[in-house]
Structure 1
Amino acid sequence: MQREEKQLEMTLDAILSRLNDLKMSIGGMIQKLETEYEIINWPTFLDNFAIISSHLTGLSKILAKEICPPLRNRTVLPLMLSPERDESLVNLTQGRVPVFSHDIVPDYLRTKPDPLNEQKMIQNEQKAANLTTEAAMKQVTQYNKVVSHVLDMVSKAREEWEIESSTRSGIQQTSSMADTHALVAAVGMGKGLKVNVPMNVPSGGPGNMMVPPLRGSAPMSSASPGGVSQINKAPAGIKTNIKPAMQVHQFSR
């Protein structure tokens, strides 16, 4: 009896190890499908699927060994049912089963398929069994015709695409390397840019900017820093009658 229990314990440990490996492989594959779906290719997907298949094969070999006691002869019964959250159960199942209540126990401990699914499976099996050989061959032939038609369409589209790709002229170039280098040299080193010559500024500075003379009058200079306009020369042919008291000399105080 002790030997059988020891074998059962060793078998359960091996099964748990294989199940953990299988779970890690499935989780890695799901993560790649969710995060690398844009770059993942078909060979990589097949490699991941092959790893999962190898874990399933190893699990089947463990269960098929003669040294393994038949687990189908064992009965699993719940020791306690509670509608409240069980933290130990959450940690044991890694958050998948928060409670072990009367509602979920039939689903986790059932040994047969769901009654509705089992009924549908039986109906499909009966329908397949009642199908004659002639009808089955007819359906297979029709299915092969559909597949062949789709394959011909894909092959024809591929040939047209290859012919179009081989005969199509090159894409017209829309840029010039010479212009690009000239633009880079102009921006980076100022090559080829014209230098603007500054305008001549009178030696007197901004305060003595020349004002175009009026018709029939002498040239006038702009206001001095004091803000008083100066007349260089009185216009010819114009008589002035200014009293001496009203005359303001340039250097008077």
Structure 2
Amino acid sequence: MQREDKHFEMTLDAVLTRLNDLKLAVHAMIQKLEMEYETINWPTFLDNFALISSHLTGLTKILAKEQCPPLRNRTVLPLLVSMDRDETLVNITEGRVPVFSHDIVPDYLRTRPDPITEQKMQQNEQKAANLTNDAAMKQVTQYNKVVSHVLDMVTKAREEWEIESSARIQQTSSISDTHLLVAALGMGKGLKMTMPMGGMPPMAGPGQMMVPPSIRAPSPMGGPGLSPGNVQQLGKAPSAVKTNIKSANQVHPFSR
């Protein structure tokens, strides 16, 4: 008996956790639909819907486990029924149930479905049990055809929407202009050199060598020229390596 009670408590805790997660997901989705209805997009809506679906699937798996005790065989009885307003009950139910009276007890403490709903469920279960394999395969095939047709329609509509969206987007860049800009910044292609206002000589361009003013050729305006001493000094560089040159007719010490 204690083992069954322990399993029952664990099942209730898991169910309550899933129900709280489901409640938060539904609340977040309703809030987005009410507050962000102008900016919400379809992928965000599908993500929220998938989250709710996952919580429902997890709740179904918990209730379908073999270790889960059949909750429909248990009875829930109220400890106190009153017509007065209960603030604690209001806070727990977030304002949905202000009074725990005789009118709402059968609805909120029901462990079995409504009699009409339960009757329809039994009819569907009996109909499914009496269904033959051939009829079931025919229904599955027909269902797959319908799903495939709907999928084709959705795919076609999506492709048309993507084509229309791409056509609406205006091109804001040019590949040729980008290449020209990169060539101008990196290699100076297409740029014109102008003489500055201060009379300074322009910088050396590609293929030209910059010559210092001390060895520059004389200009007509009387600028600094190239002196012979500077030419000799420029043409011959001092050597720091000492050499010892011997005559070729000297006998090699290791000659045979």
Q: Structure 2-normalised TM-score?
A: 0.45
RCO higher in structure (CA 8 A, sep ≥6): 2
Q: Structure 1-normalised TM-score?
A: 0.46
